[in-house]
Amino acid sequence: MTLTEPPAARPSARWQNAKIVDIVVRTPRIKSFFVALPEPFDFRAGQHVDVRLTAPDGYQAMRSYSIASAPGVASSSIEIAIDLLDNGEVSPFFHEVAAVGDEIEMRGPLGGYFVWSPSDGGPLLLIGGGSGLVPLMSMVRARVTVDAAVPAALILSARHWDDALYRDELIALEQRHAGLSVIFALTRDAPTRPQDFGRHIDEGIVRQALMSLPAAPRLVFICGSNGFVNSASDAVLAAGIPTEIVRTERYGG
């Protein structure tokens, strides 16, 4: 994961031995791993952790994964969601080998730029592509956890309806909590709901999301692959949103 903020701005954190306490299949290629850490772990929505695996011969591989959990929730574990990459070093281990009870090395929380707290206010425009939804989901959950009256519009891009990460939870949250609007942009499926779209995110979709907000967004968060962030950012700017309120985070180098 490549962060928008300079590496020097990232806080240091100690490595801990975290235990996998639960595994949940989210989509055909994404699983959630709930991990318990032995030391206190206070984080802000949008932050991430580093995960390190060590082979028997001493070879190490490290990857960064955003935290999906809401901050401040009384829980002994945090959630990370991992997308299976065909040529990956770390994700195949999690999807094909890792089991409940296994221990992994983890450090965090990390990141201080792509973050949001209810005290930061809104309205918010959140745009995620695939597993790029994960840090945004932490923000959505944070908003709900503290019952913050912060208007938020979320656009999630996915190839198919069944690939939409946290789909059912997002729909339920939209129905139960006023001020949250959710749009699914499916790139290889026809839209399932009347408010959704069957195309890549463009200026028109962004403008539709903005119409659900009572005022112009205070902050915009965009997360996904390099190509996705570039195209989504172009759509946001074309819709008239100023650059200075847009924060991006990119996966994949």
pLDDT digits (tens, 9 = 90+) for 109-153: 999 999 999 889 999 999 999 999 999 999 999 988 876 689 999
Is the pLDDT confidence value at 211 over 50?
Answer: yes
Give the pLDDT band of residue 185 (cuts 50, 70, 90). very high
- Assign domain 2-110 to its CATH superfamily: Translation factors (2.40.30.10)
Average pLDDT over residues 195-213: 97
- Total-model pTM: 0.92
Q: Are 59 and 78 in contact (CB under 8 A)?
A: no
Average pLDDT over residues 93-97: 94
Average pLDDT over residues 34-44: 89
Of residues 12 and 41, more confidence is placed in 41
**pLDDT at position 145:** 80
Residue range 40-78, pLDDT digits in tens = 788 999 999 999 998 888 899 999 999 999 998 656 789
Give the pLDDT band of residue 1 (cuts 50, 70, 90). very low
Tell the CATH topology of 118-251.
Answer: Rossmann fold (3.40.50)
**pLDDT at position 178:** 79
Q: Which long-range contacts (CB under 8 A, 24 or more apart) does 24-31 make?
A: 26/81, 26/165, 26/166, 27/162, 27/163, 27/164, 27/165, 28/162, 28/163, 29/83, 29/84, 29/163, 30/81, 30/82, 30/83, 30/84, 30/130, 30/131, 30/165, 31/81, 31/82, 31/84, 31/94, 31/95
**pLDDT at position 149:** 80
Domain boundaries of the chain, sorted by first residue: 2-110, 118-251
Q: What percent of the chain has pLDDT over 90?
A: 77
**pLDDT at position 74:** 53
Q: Structure tokens of 178? A: 């006023």
